[in-house]
Amino acid sequence: MKVMTFNLRTDFPLDINNRWDKRKEIVYELIKNNDFDIIGVQELNNKMFNDLTSEIFNYNFVGMPRSSKFFIERNDILVSNRHRIIEYNTFWLSKNPEKIGSSVWYSVFPRICTTALIELEDGNIVRVYNTHLDFLLPKAREYGLKKIGEYIENQHEKDDYPAILMGDFNSSPNSKVIRNLSEGKYSSKKFIAVQDSKKEIYSLSTLSKFKGSRKGLHIDYIFVTEEFDVKNSEIIYYNIDGRYPSDHYPISAELKIKDRLV
């Protein structure tokens, strides 16, 4: 199976020539030209959501906006219609995970995680989590991953399916939160980054800044539990005549569930 995480960059007025309407066709082409099974997107506002769902027909979208009034963004999961969505949920990284728009006081915006339980066309079942952590304070990012870890613990105590956790973590590979996640400090289900299969990726930025730069911060990740074999992982540099679909590069991975679980 092929999965991708992609921060789409919300439609920001100061981006001028890189606003959504000027690059959305590149996003469509990227998705249509690749046969992804599951895609996690971040910074998807309502207009962008309506455009994508009107153009991309072979995916089902699940997720909720992080707030109902201001700075509305979504961390939706797109699932190829080859697969069946069993259930899905969006929860808030706060003391009240079911309360729309809730957050801790030191988080700049409300932060969410969207999750889906998916039956693949081969009969295997996987859980997928997609998030976007706070961009300013390490404390807020650590709190967010702890809340996701608590949710993962509760779910996997029930059924223990293989899991994928992806998104924009706003954290470098050597940061405390990424080390803690890799060392299993947020949940008993141990997650490994797909980038570990090709460690040189860590030296490359996942921020294009709309300029094609490959130097800078590596902050986007796909983590998987130990039931997966990682066949390949890569940063996608797709562009059309030097125009990029986002200020982030997508990361993709080819995964296989180990035979003992089939």
pLDDT band at 137 (very low <50, low <70, confident <90, very high): very high
Kindly give the residue spans of alpha helices, DSSP state H, lying in the chain.
20-32, 46-55, 138-158, 176-182
CATH topology of domain 2-261: Deoxyribonuclease I; Chain A (3.60.10)
Q: How confident is the model at residue 17 (pLDDT cuts 50, 70, 90)?
A: very high
- Say how many residues make up the chain: 262
The distance from CA 127 to its chain's CA centroid, rounded to whole angstroms, is 13
Dig out the tokens for 196 from the structure: 């570990």
Give 126's strand partners. 118
pTM: 0.96
User: With contact defined as beta carbons under 8 Å apart, do 143 and 159 qualify?
Assistant: no
Q: How far apart are CA 205 and CA 124, in angstroms?
A: 33
Closest CA to 88 of 130, 50, 124: 130
Task: Tell me if 85 sits within 8 A of 123, measured CB to CB.
Answer: no
The model's confidence at residue 261, banded by pLDDT at 50, 70 and 90, is: very low
